C-alpha cells in the first residue's frame, strides 16, 4: 500500500493511473476505521483496479461545540486495517493544504441539507459536500463509496454529483452492525458500557418498525409513536428526531407503501450523538 | 470542428482525448462571439492539443429583471467564427440538461462575490462559479481561459479553482478593444450610435487614469474623482461604481504603489450596463 499526503502528488498519481486505463475506486473516511469502513473498501475493491481510501478529519463539517478535537484518531491502526482490507493508496492530506489561508469557497446542496441532521447541525452538510468535492478533484475517481448508515449524507452527495455533473459513479454499502445490533460508528468509542446498553434501543426500535411493516402496519404516525416510545422508555436516550421520509426527497410520508421509505433516527445518550436508519417498504417485505 | 450538445458525450470525448495524452484547452462563453472571445480561443490554441469552446447562455448568472431573454444569440455565426479561429469542439449543452429538474447545488466563493459587481448583481457570481464548475466537470480541461475584461470574475474563478483543488490551469487574456477604445462585449450590440459615443467615456477615463499614474499621480481619491468626473461629464452615463482595489483581495487601496492595482468601472448608458477595467502600477509605467 502506498501512502500519499501531498494533494499534488495524489493528482499526479490519479492522472497516471487513468492514463493507463485503470479504474480508480474511492472511499472517503475520517479514519478511526471499523468494519463498516472496511466494507466500503471491499465494495470499492470489487469495482476498481486501484482503491484509494482517504483519511481526513474534516474540520468544516463539525459545528461549534461539536467533537472535532476529540474525534478519535488512530493513523497507524487505520493504515494497517486499510492495507489488510485491500487498499492500494492511503491518502491523508494535511488540513492546512486542504484549506489554505483565505479559503472561502463552499459547495452546498440547498434543501435536503436543511432538514433532519441539518436542523441540528446547520453547517454540517455544507462542510461535507465541500470536502467531498475537493477530495473528488484530488483523487479523480471513477466511483466513490458511501455508507447507508449516513443515509442523508449519501442522498445529498448523490444530488451534488448529479447537479454538478461530476462524472463519478456512487456506490452505497449497507450498514455494518455489531452482534448486539448497534450500528458501527467511530463515535461508539465514546460510549461507556452502560451508555452502550442504552444505545441499543436505537437498533431495537428499527427492528420493531420492520416487524410492524411485516405484520401489515402502514400508518406512519403509529409507527413513529412506537419507535419513539421504545427510544424514550428508560429516559437515558434523548431523540433529536425520528422521521419517516421519502428516500429521494426526504419529505415526510404518511403511509408506508410500495415505494421504499427511510426511517431515520438521531438520539443522544450522554454527550454522544448517534444516528441510525433503515429502509422500509411494504411489498418487498411481504412478498 | 466537431459539435457536441450531450453532456455525457462531451465527458466521453474528454476521457478519450485525455487517455490519448492530449491536452484539452477550454474557453467557456455565452456565445454571440466577438474578437475578444476569439483571442481567448487563440490563447488556448497555443497551450492545448484540443480546444473546446462552450456556448451556453447560463440562466443562473442573470438576476431578476436582467437581460437573460434578450441576451444576443447567434449560434450559426458563432460556429463559423469558432471554427475559423481554430476551435476543435464546439460544446453547446442544453439548459434542461445542465439544470435538471430539482437542481439545487451551488458553488459559491464567499467574500469577493459580494463586492463591486456583487453589490449590484447579488446572485451573479454564484451562478458563474456554479456553471463553470459544471462545465469543468463536463469538459475536463487541462487549462481554461477567461478574459481580463471580467476581472472580478477571473479573480473569483481563480479563488474557486484554488480552494476546491481543481487540477486546472487558468489563463487570462487581455481585453480586446474596438478602434474607438470601447472594450468588446456581446452587450455592445444593445448600444445605439449615440449611446456608444457616450460609452466611450469609460475607456477614455481609464486612459486618463493611466496618464495620471505615468505623470506621477499616486493618490487614489484624486484619481477616482478624476475618473468619475470624466464618466459623468455629459450626464448620459450613470456609474454603478468606480473602484481602485487590490488585484487579489479586491480591497480598496489608498495610494498607487509598486503592487498592481485594479481600476474597475461599471456604468449604465440607457438600459445597457457596461464594465471595463485596467491595471495600474507605479513602477512598471515609470521604468
CATH number, domain of B239, equals 3.30.1300.10
CB-nearest to A134 from B108, B134, B164 is B164
Rg of chain A (C-alpha set): 19
Residue A37 bears catalytic tag = yes
Residue A143: name the closest of A117, A170, A113 by CA. Answer: A170
Within-domain flag for B286: no
User: Is the separation of the CB atoms in B204 and B230 below 8 Å?
Assistant: yes
pLDDT at position B129 over 70: yes
Q: Is A275 in contact with A117 (CB distance < 8 Å)? A: yes
Same domain, A118 and A232: no
A257 and A125 housed in the same domain: no
The pLDDT mean for chain A works out to 96
- Residue B72 phi, psi dihedral angles, 5° rounding: -65, 135
Q: Which residue among A21, A106, A133 places its CB closest to the CB of B108?
A: A106
Could you tell me if A134 and A260 lie in one domain?
Answer: no
| Inter-chain residue contact A105 with B140, CB threshold 8 Å | no
Task: Determine, yes or no, domain membership for A283.
Answer: no
Q: pLDDT band at residue A287, thresholds of 50, 70 and 90? A: very low
- Residue A67 confidence (pLDDT) above 60: yes
Q: Tell me what percent of the residues of chain A surpass a pLDDT of 90.
A: 98
Q: Do A106 and B103 touch (CB under 8 A)?
A: no
Q: How far is residue B40's CA from residue B68's CA, in Å, rounded to a whole number? A: 23
Same domain, A128 and A252: no
When the pLDDT of each residue in chain B is averaged and rounded to a whole number, the result is 96
* Local structure of residue A143 (DSSP, 8 states): E
Looking at beta carbons, which residues of chain B come within 8 Å of A140? 167
Residue A104 clears pLDDT 90, i.e. is over it: yes
pLDDT in tens, B146-196: 999 999 999 999 999 999 999 999 999 999 999 999 999 999 999 999 999
Q: CATH number for the domain including B105?
A: 3.40.50.620
Q: Are residues B151 and B207 part of one domain?
A: no
Choose, out of A167, A168, A249, A250, the residue to mutate when testing the contact with B (most B CBs < 10 Å).
Answer: A167
Q: Is A201 found in the same domain as A138?
A: no
* Domain of A29, in residue numbers: 2-173
For residue A284, is it within any domain?
A: no
Please check the confidence at residue B139 and state whether its pLDDT lies above 50: yes
- Whether residue A107 and residue B104 make contact (CB cut-off 8 A), yes or no, is no
| A181 belongs to a structural domain | no
pLDDT digits 0-9 by tens, B84-128: 999 999 999 999 999 999 999 999 999 999 999 999 999 999 999
- Chain-chain contact of A107 with B105 (C-beta, under 8 angstroms): yes
In a domain, B264, yes or no: yes
Query: Do B142 and B33 belong together in one domain?
Result: yes
Query: Does residue B287 have a pLDDT over 70?
Result: no
Calculate how close chain A gets to B100, using CA atoms only, in Å: 7
Query: Which residue from A minimizes the CA distance to B133?
Result: A164
| Chain A residues close to B165, C-beta within 8 Å | 7, 11, 98, 134, 137-138
A27 located within any domain: yes
Read off the C-alpha cell for A287: 412478498
**Where does the pLDDT of residue B284 fall: very low under 50, low under 70, confident under 90, or very high at 90 and above?**
low
- Per-residue pLDDT band for A286 (boundaries 50, 70, 90) equals very low
Q: Which residues of B touch A138 (CB under 8 A)?
A: 165, 167
Pairwise CB contact (< 8 Å): A140 & B109: no
Domain boundary among B173, B201, B221: B173
The residue among B173, B204, B233 that closes a domain is B173
Strand order in the sheet with B169-173: B2-4, B89-91, B50-55, B24-29, B143-147, B169-173
Which residue out of B37, B124, B142, B143 is catalytically annotated?
B37
Contact B107 A105 (CB under 8 A): yes
Q: Which residue of A has its CA nearest to B10?
A: A167
| Best mutation target, B94, B105, B108, to test chain A (most A CBs within 10 A) | B105
The reported pLDDT for the residue numbered A284 is: 52
Q: Which residues have C-beta within 8 Å of that of residue A178, sequence separation ≥ 6?
A: A184, A188
Contacts of B163 in chain A (CB under 8 A): 100, 103-105
B128 plus B208 within the same structural domain? no
Tell me B184's DSSP state: P
pLDDT of the residue at A84: 98
My answer on whether A193 and A132 are in the same domain is no
User: What was the pLDDT predicted at A72?
Assistant: 95
Helices (H), chain A: 7-19, 35-47, 75-84, 95-98, 117-120, 124-139, 151-163, 193-214, 220-232, 282-286
CA distance A109 to chain B (A): 4
CB atoms B129 and A21 under 8 Å: no
* Rounded average pLDDT over A123-148: 98
Residue A180 has pLDDT above 70, yes or no: yes
Per annotation, catalytic residue among A37, A124, A142, A143? A37
Mean pLDDT value across residues A94-109: 97
- Residue B141 belongs to some domain of the structure: yes
Residues B192 and B164 in one domain: no
A236–chain B nearest CA distance, Å: 38
Same structural domain, A168 and A125: yes
> Per-residue pLDDT for B283 more than 90?
no
Same domain? For B100 and B233 the reply is no
DSSP, residue by residue, B83-124: HHTT-SEEE---HHHHS-TT--EEEEETTTTSSTHHHHSTTH
Measured between beta carbons, the chain B residues lying within 8 angstroms of A110 are: 104-106
Interface of A with B (CB under 8 A): 7, 11, 15, 18-19, 21, 98, 100, 103-112, 129-130, 133-134, 137-138, 140, 159-160, 162-167
CB-CB neighbors (< 8 A) of A21 in chain B: 19
pLDDT (average), residues A48-53 = 98
The DSSP code for A229 is: H
Residue B285 pLDDT > 70, yes or no? no
Residue A268: inside a domain, yes or no? yes
Interface residues of B toward A, Cβ cutoff 8 Å, are 7, 11, 15, 18-19, 21, 98, 100, 103-112, 129-130, 133-134, 137-138, 140, 159-160, 162-167
* Residue finishing a domain among A173, A195, A228: A173
Is the Cβ pair A105, B109 closer than 8 Å? yes
Count the domains in chain A.
2
Amino acid at each position: 500500500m502506498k501512502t500519499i499526503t501531498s494533494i499534488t502528488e495524489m493528482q499526479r498519481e490519479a492522472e497516471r493511473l487513468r492514463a493507463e486505463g485503470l479504474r480508480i475506486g474511492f472511499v472517503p473516511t475520517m479514519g478511526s476505521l471499523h468494519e463498516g469502513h472496511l466494507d466500503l473498501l471491499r465494495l470499492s475493491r470489487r469495482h476498481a483496479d486501484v482503491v484509494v481510501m482517504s483519511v481526513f478529519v474534516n474540520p468544516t463539517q463539525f459545528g461549534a461545540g461539536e467533537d472535532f478535537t476529540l474525534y478519535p484518531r488512530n493513523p497507524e491502526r487505520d493504515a494497517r486495517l486499510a492495507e489488510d482490507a485491500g487498499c492500494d493508496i492511503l491518502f491523508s492530506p494535511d488540513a492546512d493544504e486542504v484549506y489554505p489561508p483565505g479559503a472561502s469557497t463552499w459547495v452546498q446542496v440547498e434543501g435536503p441539507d436543511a432538514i433532519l441532521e441539518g436542523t441540528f447541525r446547520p453547517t454540517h452538510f455544507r462542510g461535507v459536500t465541500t470536502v467531498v468535492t475537493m477530495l473528488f478533484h484530488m483523487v479523480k475517481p471513477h466511483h466513490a463509496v458511501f455508507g447507508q448508515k449516513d443515509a442523508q449524507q449519501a442522498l445529498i452527495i448523490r444530488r451534488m454529483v448529479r447537479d454538478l455533473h461530476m462524472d463519478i459513479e456512487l456506490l452505497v454499502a449497507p450498514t455494518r452492525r455489531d452482534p448486539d445490533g448497534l450500528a458501527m460508528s467511530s463515535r461508539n468509542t465514546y460510549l461507556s458500557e452502560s451508555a452502550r446498553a442504552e444505545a441499543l434501543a436505537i437498533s431495537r426500535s428499527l427492528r420493531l418498525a420492520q416487524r410492524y411493516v411485516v405484520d401489515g402496519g402502514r400508518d406512519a404516525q403509529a409507527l413513529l409513536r412506537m419507535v419513539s416510545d421504545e427510544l424514550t422508555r428508560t429516559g437515558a436516550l434523548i431523540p433529536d428526531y425520528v422521521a419517516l421520509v421519502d428516500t429521494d426527497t426526504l419529505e415526510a410520508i404518511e403511509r408506508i407503501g410500495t415505494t421504499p421509505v427511510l426511517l431515520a433516527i438521531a438520539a443522544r445518550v450522554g454527550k454522544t450523538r448517534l444516528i441510525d436508519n433503515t429502509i422500509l417498504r411494504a411489498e418487498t417485505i411481504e412478498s
